[in-house]
Structure 1
Amino acid sequence: MDASPPKDVHNHRDLMNWMLEWLASVKDSEMDITLMILYHAWLARNEARDGKKIDDPEIIVKRAICLLEEWHNVQVPKPIKVKVTKERWFPPETRWIKVNTDGAWNKASEKGGGGVVVRDHDGRFLAGACHFVPSLPDPEAAEIQSCKRAMELVKLLKLKEVVLELDCVNVVRKLNEPGMDRSVQSFVIEELKQELKALDGHVVKWVRRSANSVAHILAKKSCDLELCKTWFLFSPDCIVDELAQDMPGV
């Protein structure tokens, strides 16, 4: 479906007419996701007008897809889900290192943990960690503590160019927000932002759980077994199969 405006659009009226014609051509099966993405693009544009840095288009689209899936899940009768291709882990560019993190939290005990996996552009395992925390207030705090452990590994390994990936939209937004964080976790968030800025290069990205499965395994293991452990070069047995599936070309 081509959504590129024609070259003869010169004013708002031309753009509006093109938009209406384009929407009329959208298939019924694609209308929900189309309107959701347009709505979130409009929200991002309004926030940009207020001085906030506009979100990456990829994040805007993924957020719209996730919210639409949640909306479909609560409908009765349940409609057909929007088909989304399973996202896989993808290696970083040459010389860059990708660090995946995930948090786990037990509501009953309020215990939490984090999982960290460090890999290079060939998908090779460089380091990993399970990080248990005895008491955390919520799942987001577990995600943040996992990022904190990840940055400790980044400094220990003396990494310079890092892609930090996690599957928590709120934490990604906070780490990318240029202004001061005002949440209860603001101290840790601001500390992480400063550590990221000190690197030669950094990117903080949101990914789906399917592209973050290795870190998820370690996070769950850290919480369930109350485990704090770090591995270098040789990964633990529990993630060997997942690492192999993530290798480029598999």
Structure 2
Amino acid sequence: MSAGTREQCVLTAMIGWSIWNRRNKWVWERVNGSAFGVLAAAQNLLHDWKEAQVANMSNENCNLDQSLKKWRKPPDGWVTINCDASGVLNGGIGIGCVIRDSHGNFIEARCCKIQGHWQIREAEAISLKEAVSWVRLLGFQYCRFETDSQVLVWAIKGQSGESYFHTIVSQCVNELKHIDQVLVDFVYRSANGVAHLLASAAHSMSGCGEWLVTPPEFINDVLDLDSV
């Protein structure tokens, strides 16, 4: 604690608290979880605490639900990656994701169609897995992933299961371990509109679409709305 920066000390304290909570769940409820889940819970707690401090300083009394309904910029040096899936009932899914920086600027977007018959939660998990794999290839190391699937976020931070959905979740967790600092957060659809448009557009494309620096025209309006 004496050798670390203030940020490192605060995160260490949050990790200790998260370990204690996970230990109590095991002792009293026999509920176990992954090491990643402990770290993710600590990072999310720290992130939420920081946002609460900012809100208090500015005398804003908005509750957490309101903050999840509008797209938010990530901290300085981080990127936010929104991901989504669509068309689950049409014999294939479209997946889309978009990367923006701490100023809200568009960095890159991608969408593609994946054939197969999937349940909704499986499709959402696939969209996150593809987003994480893509971001790893691009080399980003301070990442906040956002999805409008609360079930998926619970699974990422909770205990593993034996369903095919949980198999995909485990693959996501393994991929996320290779990113230095990472958050996986739930947001409402209204805060995930760009990713939803990209996922929907994938069904009308013959292959994958990828845009660097300059976004496709069909998401410009939502990007502008998010930046307000």
Q: TM-score, normalised by structure 2?
A: 0.69
Matched-pair contact (CA < 8 Å) for 2:88–2:118 = no
Residues 211-220 or 84-93, more deviating: 84-93
Give the root-mean-square deviation of aligned CA atoms. Answer: 2.6
Cα distance in structure 2, aligned partners of 1:52 and 1:148: 23
Task: String of CA shifts for 1:182-219, please: whole Å, max 9, x gaps.
Answer: 22133322121011122111111100000101101111
Task: String of CA shifts for 1:92-138, please: whole Å, max 9, x gaps.
Answer: 0001111000111242x322111101111001111111120121322
Secondary structure of 2:161's match?
coil
Matched-pair contact (CA < 8 Å) for 1:131–1:149 = no
Partner of 2:186: 206
Asked if 1:122 is matched to 2:80, the reply is no
Partner of 2:214: 234
Matched-pair contact (CA < 8 Å) for 2:113–2:207 = yes
Partner of 2:69: 87
Cα distance in structure 1, aligned partners of 2:70 and 2:160: 33
Partner of 1:182: 162
Matched-pair contact (CA < 8 Å) for 1:144–1:189 = yes
2:83 to 101, 120, 127: 101
Greater helix percent: which structure?
2
Partner of 1:246: 226
Cα distance in structure 2, aligned partners of 1:215 and 1:182: 29
Cα distance in structure 1, aligned partners of 2:147 and 2:162: 21
Change (3 A) 1:226 1:205: farther
Could you tell me how far 1:166 is from its partner in structure 2?
A: 0.2
1:109-148 equivalences in 2 (<5 Å):
109-148=90-129
Identity of aligned residues (%): 28
Larger radius of gyration: 1
Could you tell me how far 1:226 is from its partner in structure 2?
A: 5.7
Matched-pair contact (CA < 8 Å) for 1:105–1:139 = no
Amino acid paired to 1:182: E
Task: String of CA shifts for 1:63-84, please: whole Å, max 9, x gaps.
Answer: xxxxxxxxxxxxxxxxxxxxx7
Amino acid paired to 1:128: A
Residues paired across the two proteins, number: 176
Task: String of CA shifts for 1:29-49, please: whole Å, max 9, x gaps.
Answer: xxxxxxxxxxxxxxxxx9684
Could you tell me how far 1:152 is from its partner in structure 2?
A: 2.2
Q: Which structure 1 residue ranges, 4+ long, deviate > 6 Å from structure 2?
A: 53-56
Cα distance in structure 1, aligned partners of 2:125 and 2:112: 12
Secondary structure of 2:87's match?
strand
Partner of 2:142: 161
Structure 2: where are the runs of 5+ without partners? 1-23, 46-64
Cα distance in structure 2, aligned partners of 1:94 and 1:139: 33
Residues 225-234 or 98-107, more deviating: 225-234
Q: TM-score, normalised by structure 1?
A: 0.63
Cα distance in structure 2, aligned partners of 1:188 and 1:106: 16
Cα distance in structure 1, aligned partners of 2:210 and 2:153: 24
Cα distance in structure 2, aligned partners of 1:140 and 1:172: 11
Amino acid paired to 1:133: I
Cα distance in structure 1, aligned partners of 2:154 and 2:134: 22
Identify the structure with bigger relative contact order (alpha carbons < 8 Å, sequence gap 6+). 2
Residues 223-232 or 162-171, more deviating: 223-232
